[in-house]
Chain A
Amino acid sequence: MRTLVLLASVALVLTTAAQATVRRGTLAGVVMRGPIVPVCAIEQPCDEPAKGATLLFSRADRVVGRVVTDDEGRYRLRLPPGLYTVRRPAAGSVDRKLEPNRVRVFAGRRTNVDFFIDTGIR
């Protein structure tokens, strides 16, 4: 029994150490919403930054990261590497009004991902 406890402790220490050495990746970009007008003109933006938008990043149905955009719609957060589902708080498990709604984070790398929210305005 004492041996088992010792082995478990060693395994836990090793696992924790391994996790500690996993290099997180950075995810950054802009969240836009649009169209903001019914018709699109080439000289004018049809979209605008989604300021104050909250994005939730989940793996295995567990929210791992959360970020709120600034007034320019920008966001930045660090996450462990892996594939994430992205949604807004009030959305279901898949936020199909947010594009893209799945992103990959790479260890030790910055990945630029811009998101887009469809307003429905036509």
Chain B
Amino acid sequence: MRHPRRLFASVLVLAVLALAPAPGAAAPDGQMTWAVHISLAPTWFDPAETPGIGTPFMILYALHDALVKPMPGNAMAPSLAESWTASKDGLTYEFVLRPGVRFHNGELVTADDVKFSFERYRGAAARLLKERVPVVEVVDARRVRFRLKEPWPDFMTYYGSLATGAGWVVPRKYLEKVGDDGFKKAPVGAGPYRFVSFNPGIELVLEAHEHYWRKVPSVKRLVFKAVPDETTRLAMLKRGEADVVYLLQSELAEEARRTTGLTLRPTPIVSTHWIVFLDQWDPKSPWADRRVRLAANHAIDRQAMNDAITLGFSRVTWSVIPQSFDFYWQPPAYAHDPARAKQLLAEAGYPGGFDAGDLWCEPATATMSEAAANYLQAVGIRTRLRPLERAAFFKTYQEKKLKNLAYSISGAFGNAAIRLETFVAAGGPYVYGSYPDIDGLFREQAAELDRKRREATLHRIQQLVHDKAMYAPIWELGFIHAQGPRVAEAGLGLIPGWAFSAPYEDVKLKGK
């Protein structure tokens, strides 16, 4: 060897280049801080526990990655999977994993991890997924095959959107070593940010995963501070203690709009809000009477609430299903008519109104719930507001322990069938009771392969939901966020319909 020193130097340079971030990518730098409107819960660090609402994906988009997930410009973007194919008979789906992708602990993401993650998934629609997808085969380290019992047109909507967390991949070896509880204390994923620390009720700190496959994140450190008090969130934004704040309402949103340097970011999302009459299947309850449920619907002035609380950015759609969802049916509007509401109550035997008990909600929706409660009160339906922390609210809701009324929300992705499965049809995680005609039609549509006939059935179900006045739909939320002067890209609204910042590798500070 004539020039051993030169050879050594060349090898060294090559090694450094191989380990360094992608060419042209600047190293992550700076810190971006979010003031989040809810208390963060460790259950949201584990994709296996997603409960059919959007909130956990606020964290999952940073810590973890999915085979396929909604991304800017593509509602089902190949992520950990570089491609997938469905067999002509609709019975097999095969995914090819992106080569060389690693979890934060350095382990490669393999087909075995995908199979393991699917099988340990226990969140929303888990039973349905396991029933319809009885076999998951590891073809080789980069190929995984899902065998369906029968053709199921919704498979990818369940697996590849934010309807469930079943397609989000966790490291099998690490999870088996630390267990479920250990995983929540120190989650490891394949997302653009790795876990640094979590102080319950205070903050979650994440740091850039520089070898993330899609791109090197621009911001080094993400801090999510739990700030349930709206005034404090706005104050933090004004003082520069937070760069992005979630959920501002009414005057505080107006104040943010007026403040120089702050930018209001109203974000249209697929989150519908509605009041559930939890006792409607109890024959002794006033809510068992359709006229009472209709009265509640006529009592609430949604547009006034929208103008006052969300500055008109919400859309009053009269449905629990977002308008953008496949198979959506537009229900007719309920006129705001307190006189009619009182008349309906009188016809139902409650001329002086009645004590409707508790109206359960979570702190982030307390203002909206109280506004609705005031409207109910005005026609004689007297309620008490009972806020619970979001994680506790949905856990209690899911365990069927709530009574009377609940202010329900869901920002989960999917289609009309998925939203109905979660909140309307028998057996759904948040379903306290159902109606045989709706359940029959729901089973019918689930087996229907003809799209037109399925659509007609799903429309019929939504019509029945409306006719029975099962709920009091409020609106499709116009989620008002705000950002401070340091932020170049907050990631809000990049993924259509998504409520929070994402993808996090795209967020940027000015001058970086």
| B is a partner of A | no
